[in-house]
Amino acid sequence: MEEKLIWKVSRAELKKIYRMFDKLTGTVEPSYRVLHFFYHGGLKIFGTDGTAKLLYLAGSFPPFNGIYSIPLNDLKVILHGRSDEEINFEFSGRNVNIFTESEFLQVRNTQRSDLPFHISEHFEIFSYTSLNTFRDALDFSSVVLEEPENTCFVIFNNVLYSAGISHNIACVAKVEEARVDRMLLGEVPYVTARHLVKSLGEVKQCEELAVGFNGDELSLNCNGVVYHVSVEPHIPRALPGLLRSLPDEGGEEKDLREFHAVLKKVYTFHPRGTVRVTQARDSRNQWQISVQVAAGLYVSRMEALGRLEGTLTVEVHRLRSALMRLGNKARVSSVNRSLVFSSRSKYLFLAAR
């Protein structure tokens, strides 16, 4: 008699798995919103957004051939109910039967013989860090970007950095020390970076994240949860200069709360407006902040956080998003006509023109 292939999982655990893949695959391309089940040293689940791949080890399981693909949206119907209730996935013929004591869901014609994706191996691990540290760095470096911009990873002076540069604003974050001195890792699309930030936020019970590289993909490995991220071997021309000019612990610590409050008002006036920050003409101790659109003009003054050489011009939603991630205090210094806000291992560069 053929052995039944049944994977048993609690509804609470299934919800966690669903959220990890849901955040990674996004909503832009429906064809990516699929979970692929296959055998590779155990039962594994795979999903992708086209650039980042997620592999989840579901546990020990009898070997089987081929792959079963289940649309993520089909699983929604089974997610509601008691958290501790056991859910059974029976892989039978070309179908997958999903059932509990009171429910039955059949997903038909799900099996295929080949894997519609490539699973990379042989990654060289060059750094170990906490998942939250990596996620926070990627969140900070990508928050000022939009499509079709890219965030990038690079190793400089034995430190892994994540960075995002757009127009007159740049965010650079130290991730962790690395085993190699310098290495170009490459760029990741903005959309994938945001998918990773959200998906990593759903990974629980992860003490240490192993970061590796194989020449084409970045690998993030933590307790049976593995991300492979394709990178383009390119970095912005301005990045090496920014890394060389990162301030040490210099600069005066400033309270950012007034700046946050003013930017909130500017954002309320026009969320997509371009804000101009200048030194007030009649006072070296004040900044003038303004935004002008076809419908009107808003101007405000605040205590200066540093000496400006020129005008800071940046879209308010980018500046506000980055500053919010620095918190209420940051060290402020001037580097090559740029004002640099630094807090812990995060650096916000604002270029004056």
> Each residue of 225-279: pLDDT tens digit?
999 999 999 999 999 999 999 987 778 999 999 999 999 999 999 999 999 999 9
Are 333 and 347 within 8 A, CB to CB? no
Half-sphere exposure for 270 (CA within 13 Å, toward CB): 16
pLDDT, residue 311, reads: 95
% residues pLDDT > 70 (the chain): 99
Flag whether pLDDT at 1 surpasses 50. no
Q: Identify whether residues 37 and 63 lie together within a single domain.
A: yes
At residue 3 the predicted structure's pLDDT band, cuts being 50, 70 and 90, is: low
Residue 223 buriedness (CB in 10 A; 0-12 / 13-18 / 19+): middle
Q: Identify whether residues 256 and 240 lie together within a single domain.
A: no
At residue 212 the predicted structure's pLDDT band, cuts being 50, 70 and 90, is: very high
Least Cα distance to 154 among 213, 225, 226 occurs for 213
Q: Of 53, 85, 112, which residue constitutes the final position of a domain?
A: 112
Q: Identify whether residues 256 and 211 lie together within a single domain.
A: no
Residue 230 belongs to a domain: yes
d(CA 188, CA 237): 16
Total domain count for the chain? 3
Average pLDDT of the residues in 118-133:
91
| Domain interval for residue 287 | 252-351
Q: Identify whether residues 240 and 256 lie together within a single domain.
A: no
Query: Helix count (H) and strand count (E) of the chain?
Result: 7, 25
Flag whether pLDDT at 33 surpasses 70. yes
Residue 119 belongs to a domain: no
Instruction: Supply 183's token pair.
Output: 């290495």
* Interval 50-87: pLDDT, tens: 999 999 999 999 999 889 999 999 999 999 999 999 99
Q: Of 186, 221, 244, which residue constitutes the final position of a domain?
A: 244
Mark 98-116 as b/e (b = at least 16 C-beta within 10 Å): bbeeeeebebeebbeeeee
Q: Identify whether residues 295 and 231 lie together within a single domain.
A: no
d(CA 107, CA 95): 6
Residue 118 belongs to a domain: no
Q: Identify whether residues 179 and 97 lie together within a single domain.
A: no
Q: Identify whether residues 142 and 163 lie together within a single domain.
A: yes
* Interval 316-327: pLDDT, tens: 999 999 999 999
User: For the CA atoms of the chain, what is the radius of gyration?
Assistant: 24
- The alpha carbon torsion through 214, 203, 35, 120 (nearest 10 deg) reads 10
* Interval 164-211: pLDDT, tens: 999 899 999 999 999 998 888 999 999 999 999 999 999 988 889 999
Residue 128 buriedness (CB in 10 A; 0-12 / 13-18 / 19+): middle
Q: Identify whether residues 108 and 149 lie together within a single domain.
A: no
d(CA 166, CA 326): 18
Indicate which CATH number applies to the domain containing 298.
3.10.150.10
Q: Of 47, 77, 112, which residue constitutes the final position of a domain?
A: 112
Instruction: For residue 300, list its beta bridge partners.
Output: 289
Instruction: Supply 59's token pair.
Output: 């546990």
Cα dist from 183 to 130, 209, 229, 294, whole Å: 21, 19, 16, 46
First to last CA, the chain: 76
Q: Identify whether residues 260 and 335 lie together within a single domain.
A: yes
Least Cα distance to 182 among 139, 151, 213, 220 occurs for 213
At residue 222 the predicted structure's pLDDT band, cuts being 50, 70 and 90, is: very high
Flag whether pLDDT at 2 surpasses 80. no
Residue 93 belongs to a domain: yes
Least Cα distance to 295 among 321, 271, 319, 318 occurs for 271
Least Cα distance to 39 among 74, 87, 106, 91 occurs for 91
